[in-house]
Structure 1
Amino acid sequence: MAYEIPVTQARAELADLINRVVYGGERVVVTRHGKPLVALVSAADLERLDALDQPEEEQVISSVSRVHEAAPASGERRRFGIAAEHRGHDRS
């Protein structure tokens, strides 16, 4: 549920509203004449909304790109030893 506030009051309380969104996890809807005008949401919420707007193919490509960028965990290096770290890409 979003917290609604008139635009005139939101102007005076902007810093507090930002804190409510960032630290309290709230969503704030700013209204004019009782009708929703804009919403203040966290950056994480905005990313989720943007992801919904992307075509499904772009979402998969984006996910694969993020997985590819991840570095191997140090636990894997210990588990597989030096051979795994020094094995070349050429398996001929």
Structure 2
Amino acid sequence: MAYEIPVTQARAELAELINRVVYGGERVVVTRHGKPLVALVSAADLERLEHPTAETEGEEAPVISSVSSLGAPGSRPPGGGGYGLTAEHHRPGVHG
């Protein structure tokens, strides 16, 4: 899973975030108002995503699923569907 950080904090900590990505192997998602804006990945991760080889073909799946599990800002349904969370109210004793 990617590490999330608000854009205002990311500005102040950019050098540290770069070090975490490059040397710590982390992936960082920068958010604004809780919505993902960009993802910081190492150049090696980007290379594997853009040019998969037979050996790395399956390796991009964790990167993609990690980032896409956060959702793209424009991918939410109109009306504030959010992150696909739903709630239903059932009267006591009624199931279905």
Whether the TM-score (by the shorter chain) exceeds 0.5 is: yes
Pair 1:46 & 2:58 matched: no
Matched residue, 1:20: 20
What is the root-mean-square deviation in Å for CA atoms of aligned residues?
A: 1.5
Matched residue, 1:7: 7
Equivalenced residues, count: 54
Q: Taking structure 1 as the reference length, what is the TM-score of the superposition? A: 0.55
Runs of 4+ in 1 over 4 A off after TM superposition: none
What SS is found at the alignment partner of 2:26? coil
Matched residue, 1:32: 32
Work out the CA distance in 2 between the residues paired with 1:48 and 1:38: 18
Work out the CA distance in 1 between the residues paired with 2:26 and 2:10: 14
Aligned AA for 1:37? L
- The percentage of aligned residue pairs carrying the same residue is 89
- Ranked by relative contact order (alpha carbons within 8 Å, sequence separation 6 or more), the top structure is 2
Residue 51 of structure 1 deviates from its aligned partner by: 1.5
What SS is found at the alignment partner of 1:26? coil
Q: Taking structure 2 as the reference length, what is the TM-score of the superposition? A: 0.53
Work out the CA distance in 2 between the residues paired with 1:12 and 1:36: 18
Work out the CA distance in 2 between the residues paired with 1:28 and 1:46: 13
For structure 1, the 5+ residue unaligned runs are 53-58, 61-92
Between structure 1 and structure 2, the one with the greater Rg is 1
Residue 49 of structure 1 deviates from its aligned partner by: 1.1
For structure 2, the 5+ residue unaligned runs are 55-96
* 1:41-71 CA distance string (max 9 Å, x none): 000100011125xxxxxx79xxxxxxxxxxx
Matched residue, 1:66: none
